[in-house]
Amino acid sequence: MKKLLILSLALLSVVSCVSKSEKEGDVASKMDDSFLPEATGQAGELVIVMNKEKWSNELGEALKETFHASVPGLSRNEPAFTTRVIEPFQFNRIFQLARNIVYVTTLDGKTPADKWLQNTLTENSKERIKNEPDLFMYNSDNQYAQRQKVMHLFGNNDAELIQHIRENGEILRNYFNMAERQRLATDIRASVDSKAISNRFQKEHGYYIKIPVGYEVAIDEANFTWSRFLPSVGASKNIYVYYKDYESQDEFKHENIVKLRNEIGKKHIYGDPENPESFMITETQYMRPIHREINFDGKFTVETRGAWKTNNFSVGGTFISYTFVEESTNRLYYVEGFIIHPNEQHRELIRQMESIISTFRSTAQQSQASLY
């Protein structure tokens, strides 16, 4: 798989964009995107440019399996992305400004749509694709707009490309997942009040997290903070941070992470402020939490996604969390974002939670000035 990624990145120098200036090697024009408009479109939306007839055959099925795969950890099935499939001749200025674009090209296609897509590749690119079947992907930024992500998927024929897509589905999803998370993290707006909360946590707890405008402090205790956004209508968004002395590697075992989460919930996260017997627990009966190991800010981290409920079943929702150790302070951190929004979609809300918790930094590593 590493070989596939390296070879795909090698195509950087040979795949061209559609514009005439880039085909002519106008490097200055290619590098200067400061005058481009801002990318548009809804979060989580992909514009797929391809021979639309193929969307209904096996190539389309492989793309659907990849980009419509269910988001892990949600209590209802929601696709990873919303897709809009268009023919090349429909690729007008509106679609060109989309935040995420995917071109799907095969060299054996004979239709006008296939020919259009083939013309987005240089002759040198086509030769390499013919002779190096491991090449199947090239990614670029800002082809038509700022903060735009563009993915080219290509192959000699449908069967070859289908195989690559199915073998690398997680890589393809992660490319756009990371792009969406980075956009959201950059777009987090702060107010005087929310900055004051971040500063307070930094001073009193030794960590920094970017608190968005509209959030308030629900609890601030010795080793636990809970910030939340409680609109009169819509989703309740919640971020909490818990820390303790790190004891052993066993604390990263999945069952121990769930156990820790339940202990935190029972002690700190109330379902009803008027009912002290109501508290948060992790849903394990009807769906189990999903864990995966990631690298967060250079640290070994266990990401956990799943559903939660109160012990008296009064309310529930979904969550995402990071568990990691800050070696300089020997602290085990558990950082979570959770949502309350019954009977509504949670995909983009969980992406927002992920973007917020990804701003977490120990003050031993990073100051607030570099985060705001």
Q: Which amino acid is at 125?
A: S
Query: For 231-264, what is each residue's pLDDT tens digit?
Result: 989 999 999 999 999 999 999 999 999 999 999 9
Rg (alpha carbons) of the chain, rounded to whole number: 23
Please tell me the predicted confidence (pLDDT) of residue 20.
32
**In this structure, how many other beta carbons lie within 10 angstroms of the beta carbon of residue 22?**
16
**DSSP for 271-285, written as a single string:** EETTEEEEEEEE--S
Residue 31's pLDDT is 53
Q: Which helix (H) or strand (E) holds 357?
A: helix 347-357
Q: Which amino acid is at 90?
A: Q
What's the pLDDT score for residue 12?
Answer: 35
Q: Write out pLDDT tens, residues 119-132.
A: 999 999 999 999 99
Share of the chain above pLDDT 70, in %: 88
How, if at all, do strands 236-245 and 331-340 pair?
antiparallel
Q: Residue 41 has which token pair?
A: 């479109």
Burial class (CB in 10 A: 0-12, 13-18, 19+), 1: exposed
Of residues 6 and 209, more confidently modeled: 209
CATH topology of domain 189-370: Protein Transport Mog1p; Chain A (3.40.1000)
> Where exactly are the structural domains of the chain?
2-186, 189-370
Inform me whether the pLDDT recorded for 46 exceeds 90. yes
pLDDT digits (tens, 9 = 90+) for 195-222: 999 999 999 999 999 999 999 999 999 9
Among the four given CATH numbers 3.40.980, 2.60.40, 3.30.300, 2.60.120, the one describing domain 2-186: 3.40.980
Checking if the pLDDT of 182 tops 60, the result is yes
Instruction: Please indicate, yes or no, whether the overall pTM of this predicted structure exceeds 0.75.
Output: yes
Q: Grade residue 365 by pLDDT with cuts at 50, 70 and 90.
A: low
Higher pLDDT, 257 or 189: 257
Return the pLDDT at 334.
98
